[in-house]
Amino acid sequence: MDLQLVWFLLIAVLWTGYLVLEGFDFGVGMLIPVLARDDRERRQIINTIGPVWDGNEVWLLVAGGATFAAFPEWYATLFSGFYLPLLLILLALIVRGVAFEYRSKVDSPTWRRRWDACLVVGSAVPALLWGVAFSNIVAGVPLDAQHQFTGNLLTLLNPYALLGGLTTLGLFLLHGALFLQLRTLGPVRRRARALAQRLSVPVLVVAAVWALWTQLAHGTAWTWAAVAVAAVALVGVVVAVPRRREGLAFAATCAVIVSAVVLIFGSLFPDVMPSSTDPAFSLTIRNASSTPYTLGVMTWVAVALVPLVLAYQAWSLWVFRHRLSAEHIPVPLLPAPRSGESSSHGQQSRTRH
């Protein structure tokens, strides 16, 4: 039971790291067409997350791998019942990753615009669907005695889950706008500040409704603390943004995301996937876990490797902490003239001058 609890908490920590770090990546990706006015500014925005986005996604891989190894029954039921939403998330992440690499391969405005659209869609789809998925997990889904999902896609698209999706979508947009304030200079930074100011109140309202709904319907006595911390942090964002305290505002959105994960996993415990059909059919940390031997081996591996991962993540964020301006983005070089055209081009240039 002790190791089962340890791995339940560790998976919660892994999801916290993923949502905090990848949350601003998603926000930045969705804001490219909103905050950029030309290709140079789009490249400025993309370069703020270019060195770190793939490292941030490692948290998702580790969270999925830890769930598979520590709670295989949970993993099997989750990925079979939520197959279509998780497949859409996976495809969106693939398209997004390819877009980062391919948008600069061809010097064509049309080519870049299409890959920028892929970045927007590849960021918006996971930002929305992660909220839908976690809300359904907290609320419970129809499971039979064999822990098989018996619902369908419409079962997952219920009002509470859709509100959860809007909450993560709005929160990540705000998180990304605040991140851009910390990492950019010039017009992009000013637009990001103005957008964060417009987003802060609507995000506060939507997130507050979802948090209260979660707490009143599924929470426990001690998860009120997570709700209180989230409320204070959201109010802090609303107050800090107009005063240009972007560092404080960004820390507050991080606190909101951490509090949301605490509320989700705190409301679940000791379940990992409640059954709305019959509580007796729910998956718990006891009936969904691996053997004690497996959990023991995994614990020693985690003790050895997790500090290294955390150290590398902190180092990479520190190295790429400096602000970027459009002037830092080099102007693309003109293509060299083809053979036989250099003399005539030079003559035309001298004639014009």
- Mean local confidence (pLDDT), 120-136: 95
Name the pLDDT band for 316 (thresholds 50, 70, 90): confident
- pLDDT reported for residue 161: 95
233-268: pLDDT as tens digits: 999 999 999 998 999 999 999 999 999 999 999 999
265-311: pLDDT as tens digits: 999 999 999 999 888 999 999 999 999 999 999 999 888 888 888 88
Non-local (6+) Cβ contacts of 338 within 8 A are none
**Virtual torsion, Cα 20, 25, 26, 27, nearest 10 deg:** 90
Q: Which residue has the higher pLDDT, 346 or 189?
A: 189
Question: In sequence order, what are the beta bridge partners of 283?
Answer: 273
Which tokens sit at 335?
């293509």
- Mean local confidence (pLDDT), 54-74: 91
The number of angstroms, rounded, from the C-alpha of 54 to the middle of its chain's C-alpha atoms is 12
Place of tokens 């009143």: 216
Q: Is the pLDDT of residue 342 over 70?
A: no
- pLDDT reported for residue 347: 43
71-88: pLDDT as tens digits: 999 999 998 889 999 999
4-40: pLDDT as tens digits: 999 999 999 999 999 999 999 999 999 999 999 888 8
Burial 292-327 (b: 16+ CB within 10 A, else e): eeebeebbeebeeeeeebeeebeeeeeeeeeebebe
- Neighbouring CB atoms inside 10 A of 205's CB total 12
- pLDDT reported for residue 328: 67
Place of tokens 């490292």: 55
- Domain-wise residue ranges, the chain: 2-329
Place of tokens 């603390």: 225
200-223: pLDDT as tens digits: 999 999 999 999 999 999 999 999
3-state secondary structure the chain: CHHHHHHHHHHHHHHHHHHHHHHHHHHHHHHHHHHCCCHHHHHHHHHHHCCCHHHHHHHHHHHHHHHHHHCHHHHHHHHHHCHHHHHHHHHHHHHHHHHHHHCCCCCCHHHHHHHHHHHHHHHHHHHHHHHHHHHHHHHCECECCCCCECCCHHHHCCHHHHHHHHHHHHHHHHHHHHHHHHHECCHHHHHHHHHHHHHHHHHHHHHHHHHHHHHHHHCCCCCHHHHHHHHHHHHHHHHHCCCCCHHHHHHHHHHHHHHHHHHHHHHHCCEEECECCCHHHCEECCCCCCCHHHHHHHHHHHHHHHHHHHHHHHHHHHHCCCCECHHHCCCCCCCCCCCCCHHHHHHHHHHHC
158-195: pLDDT as tens digits: 999 999 999 999 999 999 999 999 999 999 999 999 99
What's the whole-model pTM score?
0.89
Which tokens sit at 236?
């802090």
The interaxial angle of helices 39-49 and 159-183, nearest 10 deg, is: 100
Q: Which residue has the higher pLDDT, 119 or 336?
A: 119
318-333: pLDDT as tens digits: 888 888 887 767 766 4
